[in-house]
Chains A and B, each alone.
Chain A
Amino acid sequence: MASLIPNLEPNPDTSPEFQRKKRRKTEKRPGSFDRNQGNQRIKRWQTEREQQIYSTKLIEALRRSRRNSSSAAGKEVRGTADRVLAISAKGTTRWSRAILTSGLSAGAKMRKHKKANINANRRLRKPKINKEKRKLPVFKRKLMVLGRLVPGCRKLSFSNLLEETSDYIAALEMQVRAMTAITEYLAGSSGGELQPPADRLGSNVNS
C-alpha cells in the first residue's frame, strides 16, 4: 500500500497532487460547491503520507526558527505549526490562505476596525427581523461563532463555511496526530539513549 512507503517524491502521473492541480482552476470560484473535491481533500488529510510530510516540514521549520531566535516559546511553535499546516493545504482553502496572510498588519488592523462596527449594527438589526425568532438569534449566532473559529471565514455563506469547516477539522486532527507523535518521540528519547547513526546528517550538528 502506498501509505506505508515513505516515498516523498511526488509521482506526477499518479499522485493526487497532479489531479488537484488540474482541478485548482475550478476551486478558486467562491461559490463552487463540488463535494467530490472537498471529500478528496478531507481524505488526503487522513492519510499517513500527508502526516509524514507535515511532520518533516514542521521539524525543518522549527529548526529554522530556533536558529533565528533562541527562544522557542509555545506560542511560536504553535504559529509555526499552523503556518506549515496552511502551506500543506496548498492554497486550496480559505482558512489556509487566511493563516498565511494573517501576519500582515493590514489584516489585523482591519479586523479590529470591523469588530466595532459589527457590534454596533447587531443591536439595531436584531429587532427588525422578527419572522423566525427561534432560528435567527440562536442558529445564526452559532454560525457566526463558527465563522470566527475558522480562520478567515467570518463572512462566508453558509455552505462555504461548512465546507471550510470540514476541511479545517480534518487538517486540525492531522496536526494533532503529527505533533503528538513528534512529542512522544522526543519525550521518549530525551533520556539520551538515542544515538543517531553518524552520517551526512550528523555533520550538521556542530554548525
Chain B
Amino acid sequence: MSSRRSRSRQSDVSRITDHQITDLISKLQQLIPELRGRRSDEVSASKVLQETCNYIRSLHREVDDLSDRLSQLLASTDTDSAQAAIIRSLLM
C-alpha cells in the first residue's frame, strides 16, 4: 500500500497515509447497511468500494422510482390543496 502514495492521481499537495486510508474505508463501511455489522478486518477495501457503488446505484434507482410515482400522484391530485396539507402534516 505504501506505493499508492506515489501513484495516486493527486492534484493536491496533501500526503495520504495508510492510516488515513484505512480510516476512511472503515468509515465508509459503516455507512453501507450491508457491511455495517462486519469487522473492518473481515471486509476488504475492494469489497467496500464495490458495495458502495452498488448501494449508490440502488439509491439512485429508488429515487427514480419515487420520482415516477410522485409525478403520477401529483398529476392526479388537486396539487395545491394537497401540497398545503402535506406541508402542514409533515411539519406536525
B-contact 0/1 string along A120-153, CB 8 Å cutoff: 0000000001011001101100110110011000
Q: Residue A52 contacts which of B21, B49, B80, B90 (CB distance < 8 angstroms)?
A: B90
- Cβ contacts under 8 Å, B79 to chain A: 63, 66
Q: Which residue of B lies closest to A134 (CB)?
A: B46
- Cβ contacts under 8 Å, B60 to chain A: 149, 172
- Cβ contacts under 8 Å, B73 to chain A: 183, 186-187, 190
Main secondary structure on A side of the interface with B: helix
- Bound complex: CA of A73 vs CA of B11, how far in Å? 40
Among listed A15-23, A74-82, A98-106, A107-115, interface-contacting one: A74-82
- Cβ contacts under 8 Å, A75 to chain B: 67
Asked whether A169 lies within 8 Å of B55 as measured between CB atoms, the reply is yes
Q: Which residue of B lies closest to A161 (CB)?
A: B24
Asked whether A157 lies within 8 Å of B71 as measured between CB atoms, the reply is no
Closest-CB distance, A143 to chain B (whole angstroms): 6
Most interface-central of B3, B45, B56, B64 (chain A CB within 10 A): B56
Q: Residue A189 contacts which of B31, B70, B82 (CB distance < 8 angstroms)?
A: B82
The number of chain B residues touching the other chain, given as a range, is 35 or more
Closest-CB distance, A175 to chain B (whole angstroms): 6
- Cβ contacts under 8 Å, B89 to chain A: 185
- Cβ contacts under 8 Å, A163 to chain B: 24
Contacts A78-B64, A142-B50, A173-B59 known; A158 to B16 CB distance under 8 Å? Answer: yes
Closest-CB distance, A196 to chain B (whole angstroms): 4
Chain B interface residues (CB < 8 Å from chain A): 3-4, 7-14, 16, 20-21, 23-25, 27-28, 31-32, 45-46, 49-50, 52-53, 55-57, 59-60, 62-64, 66-92
Chain A interface residues (CB < 8 Å from chain B): 6, 8, 30-31, 33, 35, 42, 52, 55-56, 59-60, 62-63, 66, 72-78, 81-82, 129, 131-132, 135-136, 138-139, 142-143, 145-146, 149-150, 155, 157-160, 162-163, 165-166, 168-170, 172-173, 175-176, 179-183, 185-187, 189-190, 194, 196, 201-202, 204-205
Nearest 6 interchain pairs by C-beta:
A74-B68, A78-B67, A6-B91, A77-B67, A201-B84, A31-B14
What would be 23 A-B contacts, judged by CB atoms less than 8 Å apart?
A59-B86, A63-B80, A77-B71, A78-B63, A81-B66, A132-B7, A138-B46, A139-B49, A145-B49, A145-B53, A146-B52, A149-B56, A158-B24, A165-B52, A165-B56, A166-B27, A172-B59, A185-B86, A186-B74, A194-B85, A196-B85, A196-B88, A202-B84
